[in-house]
Structure 1
Amino acid sequence: MRLAELVSLNRMGAAHRFLGRDDDRRVRIGVRLWELAVRASPVLSLQEVAIPFMVGVHDVVGHHVQLSVLDGDEVLFLERLSASKSVINCTRIAGRLPLYASSSGLVLLAHGPADLRERLLAGPLTAYTPTTTATPSRLRAVLADVRKQGYAYCPSYVHEDALGVAAPVRGADGRVLAALSVVVPNDAGAQAVVPALRTAARGASRALGAPTGREGPAV
């Protein structure tokens, strides 16, 4: 594209608020383009259903509560609720992580397509910390545990001070649409958040029309 055409497009985008400029003159997404993208989002109904349940979990745990979906070979984070004194969290809204390296990703991978699991099991798998699931044999065992117990429990997978727990959110056909997760301090009390998280994930699933009895064993 020629420079004159690019300049013209930038001006047109700015005029309609599709594009804007930062103080340092860098082009950024404008308010109008953001508005259209949010309204057209294919996951908008999922977010609208999940947010009240996320708020309930956040009231209980007081740390990060996240909603994420599978996107290619990664987990994509759609929403996050946090507090000023929450434990460290390396993710953000619209951020991504490898599926094998987080509680959300493990839930989505465990219930995702078999060919995706086999592709990731073929490696390579990079460890973020010494406890990250980064070998094929261990990853296969962890995924089996996630399917059996109905949630993923991941101490120090991304950061040594943080622990992630995630549970599946299912749609009307019973398939896992998303993962609801918390990131809390990696300490002895972390297991106590599991019942609240799983209850919220089941509530969101029921609100989406999911059949009952698909959540795995109770804690």
Structure 2
Amino acid sequence: MKEGPSIAAIAALIGDPARANMLDALMSGRALTAGELAAEAGISPQTASGHLAKLREAGLVLVTSQGRHRYFRLSGPDIAQVLEGLMGIAARTGRTRTRTGPRDPAMRTARLCYDHLAGEWGVRLFDAFVAHGQLASDGEAASLTDQGRRFFAAEGIDMAELDRSRRPLCRACLDWSERRPHLAGALGKAVLDLALRRGYLRRVGENRTLAVTPPGQRALMTWCEEPGGRRLRAVP
């Protein structure tokens, strides 16, 4: 039999339930220890170490040593995008036992997709950016418009720094629960960082859930509803 393409080996690694659970835990963007990942996967620390060695060898995760601990993280945002896409495919093709996306309503509302905003608010903002002319999108790809460049620069995002990044500036990432795109890429990260810095969003515990604060609710609704996008002011 002819050997399959390189994606076969990667798919086999991701497809193992224990490894899939550990990779999902790393979608929060945080670096976790082998013990923490073992608990997420429901396996012994010894078994987790074997799985993590395979993921590291394949380049899916990176490890950093600090003191007595070794911290694992995804090797890049492209890994998170693949995982989110696979979750969406599983939901679309009926390979889930429950409704699409996470069971927790809070996680469905707003969550991290590695380093950008996902969930209902992620999709809502993406739609608003397109409707207001900051982004151009055909539903599968996204690009920043001149109007968008001015808007995000006025918000305090360093567009020159984003231009120097090796990452794609804009990407349309298929949302796992909403099955519609949210904003990824360097700009998606910058928008999330802005919302966290201004207090519109805050992290909840150690998982991927994000909470929209009362000032954030007002600010993000204004951002979504104002034609052309009115500039958001920082939360005092």
Return the TM-score normalized by structure 2: 0.25
Question: Which structure shows the higher helix fraction?
Answer: 2
Instruction: Name the structure where strand makes up a greater proportion of residues.
Output: 1
Which TM-score applies when normalising by structure 1? 0.26
